[in-house]
Structure 1
Amino acid sequence: MNGPRRADPLGVTPASYRAFRAALLALAAAVLALSSMTALLSVRMARRVVLPARRRADTKIVGVDVTAQTITLSRTPDTELPGRYGLFTAGSADYVKVGSVLSSDAHTVTRKLLTHIPADARLAPDAAFSGWYYDHPEQLHLPFRAELVGAPVGPCPAWIFPADGGDDTWVIQIHGRGTTRAECLRAVPVFQARGISSMVVSYRNDGQAPRSRSGSYALGATEWRDVDAAIGLARRRGARRILLMGWSMGGAIALQLALQSAHRDLIQGVVLESPVVDWRIVLAFQAKLNRVPQPVAEMAIGALGAEWASHVTGAGAPIPFDRLDVVARAGELRHPILLLHSDDDGFVPSDASHELLAARPDLVEMQVFDVARHTKLWNYDQDRWTAVITSWLGRHGFGTAPAAPASRVDG
């Protein structure tokens, strides 16, 4: 005969135990779901970093006045900037140039059109604001020729602008992530004025050069090899001194060349416009800007650097963040460097540029801009930008003194 059930000395009844067990299982499920969501978001962020993507619209065309030749855009930190810019569009034109801000309100900005828009033109609302300004080499009205560079990944298209009566100094122009070599055209006249020939290059996975096996960016860790082949071509064509100019991720590529190129004996100096000097700083900034939780960002960066995650992130191989951190490697630098960076960049923070200056004040000179945003320093203040580069070239004995200041080129 069963006696009365003895009470649990801790006072836990079967019902409360079942409730506790259910709560514990629910908590475990929630933790698992949160971990899975964090992992999923981390992979998504990692893939966005390394996989080339189509240009994304960042403004709206609100209206075009074909009589006054003005265009009204939705207001953003970029579209309200003073200066001359480009606008990627769709419809009757795929690219138009815009000039001064004529008026603005809380939501829109009206700018002068520098590309004529006919009365029957139709432009789609979605557009992308650009610092390129020139989108074809012919717009510079300078002699040039097209070349193919025999790079490890295959033939990479390039433009060569031979300097008229110049010496044996060449500058290799390297564009940034998600853009093409047209981004660099703004700088050609500045070097041309000092008798320095320009080679404007492409590299793997940029949409013009061949695709690598993975089809993904290595953030400069492999792309530099294609540009190194371009230096070799310049050498065969008579270059005896090489300057590098890198824009954004092109800055990361230029720095890897300065550290690893087979032609380091030719490299004499580096000019960096809004450069990536340390990718981890850039990715952390981008995560915060896009309100990505810090654990997600940290997991994404960790995945990009891990061998096991390469097939998931699409990177094809681990991103060597330590090798790409040039602040940490500043002691290895041997060439004078001119840094041009805006503290209001908005995309690649200037922190690492300031740190590189602090680490190597013997080699690095930095010109700090404000208001101007990412790779738009030329657009915002062309006169200062030109004067800074021209002065730096002169002080280091690159090229010949121009007969007159480099003039504006309108297209």
Structure 2
Amino acid sequence: MAGTVRNASGNGRVALGMLAGAAVVGGSIALGAGALAVALARRVLTPPSKRDEPERIVSVDLANHEIVLAATDESRMRGRYSFWFNQESGHARLGDVLDEGVTTVRRRIESVDFGRLERARAGRFAGWWHLGPWELGHDYTNVVIDTPLGPAPAWHIPADEPDGRWIVMVHGRGTRRQEGLRAVDAVRAAGWDSLLVSWRNDGEAPESADRRYGLGGTEWPDVDAAIAYARAHGARRIVLLGWSMGGAISVQTVLHSAEARDTVEGLILDSPAVDWSDILRFQGGEIGLPERFAGVVGDVLRSSRLLGLTGAEAPIDLDALDAAAAADGLVAPVLVLHSVDDGFVPIDGSRRLAAARPDLVRLDEWAGARHTKLWNQDPERWEREVVGWLDALPPRD
């Protein structure tokens, strides 16, 4: 998901410098607002090269398998999570909260997979649980999908008893294929193959010329290629499962590809990025910006004159990427899972999508879970909702 500008990258700082002494967007935006809008627009489009580690480690007791963290919305989360530290050189798995106070939270350490957790001072939570498909204990194959930009790696994990039902799993912004592994066990037992794909600029698939995200508008051809791969390898029924921006990519795929529209029988969207303007308003509000500032960022992204500052190859129209506004183009059933306490992507877009197409869209609202971490909070509920929906999904005529 899009970050905020308080940790602007080096590229963001370059953009600020380039705008010194100038005004942007038709000359009506003052220096400070224009510079900030460009920095935020650039950050939204730029794949992260370094991840923030906002969770402060107070103490680590390896002998008793416990860690104490400063109290935050993330450290208070119920459930089990990956915990990255030392700039991705260390990884642990943390269990549920043991107890919490006003300033600290004590959690169970399930494992330290690599790195020296006892020496770390900060880290970040992630929704990943499995580091690779080998941890699941199922047969899997490393495959290559021929995308418009070149070969992209993927994992194919067949069902217990394969019968031609495939789920194409699409990870979100700033993550990789591992994000989808937590869903495999449940859908595999329900009879579905899993194809966990990579897409342009995610660090595994080929890069685009501009090395920028398109917020779903440029990535969907890679998922379309994955659908073609699945069909060529025996898929008779296909469902797309996308997290966050992966949800946006999935929706854009069925809206833009005639083959996908005719082939995909359903979509499962976890914490989806439905409305980028709404997301920018929320993110801006988190750092004290007025709601109207999201419109300024949208103007920057839409402007062909500012491509040199954003780094994008082409303008991006956020209105054109609004899945709720384009809901009339949906033809397959959709299951949306979203938390009112998401913290990064507000649930409003998902509610608009469900209201726009009540005949197709079912919204399962959660509370307490943070962005894309619904499974981590309550895996039994997540799997029950998803498998129940899949079991009830009618085959396309």
TM-score (norm: length of structure 1): 0.86
Match of 2:295 among 274, 295, 298: 298
Aligned length: 371
Q: CA RMSD in A?
A: 2.4
SS at 1:282 equivalent:
helix
2:269 maps to a residue whose letter is: L
Show the counterpart of 2:304.
307
Measured in 2, the distance between the counterparts of 1:163 and 1:286 equals 39
How many Å apart are 1:313 and its aligned residue? 1.1
Larger Rg belongs to: 1
Following superposition, the deviation at residue 124 of structure 1 comes to 2.0
CA distance in 2, matches of 1:120, 1:172: 35
Q: Secondary structure at the match of 2:364?
A: strand
Structure 1 CA distance for aligned equivalents of residues 116 and 346 of structure 2: 42
Structure 2 unpaired stretches of 5+: 1-21
Is 1:35 the counterpart of 2:33? The answer is no
CA distance in 2, matches of 1:33, 1:335: 43
What secondary structure does 1:308 align onto? helix
1:196-229 deviations in whole A, cap 9, x for unaligned? 0000011111111111100010000010111111
Q: Deviations over 1:281-324 (max 9, x none)?
A: 11111111122344543221111112121221122211132221
- Tell me which moved more, 334-343 or 376-385: 376-385
- Please say if residues 93 and 123 of structure 1, whose CA atoms lie closer than 8 Å, have aligned partners that are also in contact: no
2:349 to 343, 352, 364: 352
1:47 pairs with 2:42: yes
Structure 2 counterpart SS, 1:245: strand
> Which amino acid is 2:229 matched to?
L
Q: Of 319, 323, 327, which residue of structure 2 is paired with 1:322? A: 319
Deviation digits for residues 136-164 of structure 1 (CA, Å, limit 9, x no counterpart): 22121111111111111221111110112
Change (3 A) 1:101 1:165: same
Cα distance per residue 1:61-86 (max 9 Å; x no partner): 22110110111112210111111111
Equivalent pair of 2:69/2:106 in contact (CA under 8 Å): yes
State the partner residue of 2:282: 285
2:61 aligns with 65
Contact 2:45-2:212 within 8 A present in 1 as well: yes
Partner of 1:214: 210
Question: Does structure 1 conserve the Cα–Cα contact (< 8 Å) formed by 2:304 and 2:315?
Answer: yes
Structure 2 partner of 1:403: none
Q: Map of 1:392-403 to 2, 5 A cutoff?
A: 392-397=389-394
Partner of 2:382: 385
Please say if 1:161 is aligned against 2:157.
Answer: yes
In structure 2, the partner of 1:100 is 96
Displacement after TM superposition at 1:106 (Å): 1.6
Mapped contact 2:177–2:196 kept (Cα < 8 A): yes
Counterpart-to-counterpart distance in 1, 2:303 and 2:32? 19
Match of 1:188 in 2: 184
1:6-25 matches, cutoff 5 A:
none
Asked if the contact 1:190/1:390 (under 8 Å) is kept, the reply is yes
Alpha-carbon distance in structure 1 between the residues aligned to 2:188 and 2:214 = 31
The alignment status of 1:253 with 2:246, answered yes or no, reads no
Of the structure 1 ranges 328-337 and 138-147, higher mean CA displacement relative to structure 2 is found in 138-147
Counterparts in 2 of 1:135 and 1:323: CA distance versus 1, 3 Å:
same
